[in-house]
Amino acid sequence: MKKLIFMFLAACALSFTACSSDDDDNGDDNNNGGNGGGSNTTATFDYEVTGDDQASRNGAAYFEEDGDEINVILTSSTDGFSNVSFNFKNPIDEKTYSEVTDVVFDGLGDDEVAVNYSNGSEVFGGTSGSVEITEVSATHIHGSFDVDVKYEPFDGGDTLTANIQGTFIADED
């Protein structure tokens, strides 16, 4: 739980300092000669949220190595702050990760991904779905996701569920 809170706070801090100069021109040169992103773009993502939380989001994406994990963070200020974080076992492979969880206690398995989504007021944890990694290099990670998430308040209030679907191109932090 400590790690989840730390990741959320780190994503919040980075969202206020991250800048993007994308022009949405992904063209045919989608990895810019192996340097991440597309021609004249920075790392980007787009996703839709449905269910108890509904939104269309886009923004900046990055990844970082954290010992035995790779963390991919998507941050957006579209209609308020939100973020999605994906945690994978290091090294990350080009494949579909179909074992979705929200918190990692004993390390991640080979097909496991920890997913958290924050809409700015609630933090949802991954419950099912998949994250497909389509391209990996030292400078970028490309992927898509279709994940069900759930928010369970500590005070016994209403449980909320949502689905997040989208794609990302994350550059090295």
Mean pLDDT of the chain: 80
Residue 27 structure tokens: 């063209």
pLDDT in tens, 126-164: 999 999 999 999 999 999 999 999 999 988 889 999 999
Tell me the pTM.
0.75
pLDDT in tens, 89-139: 999 999 999 999 998 878 899 999 999 999 989 999 999 999 999 999 999
Contacts of 103 (CB under 8 A, 6+ apart): 1, 3, 4, 114, 125
Positive or negative CA dihedral for 125, 137, 34, 10? positive
Question: Residue 153's Cα: distance from chain center in Å?
Answer: 22
Q: What pLDDT does residue 42 have?
A: 63
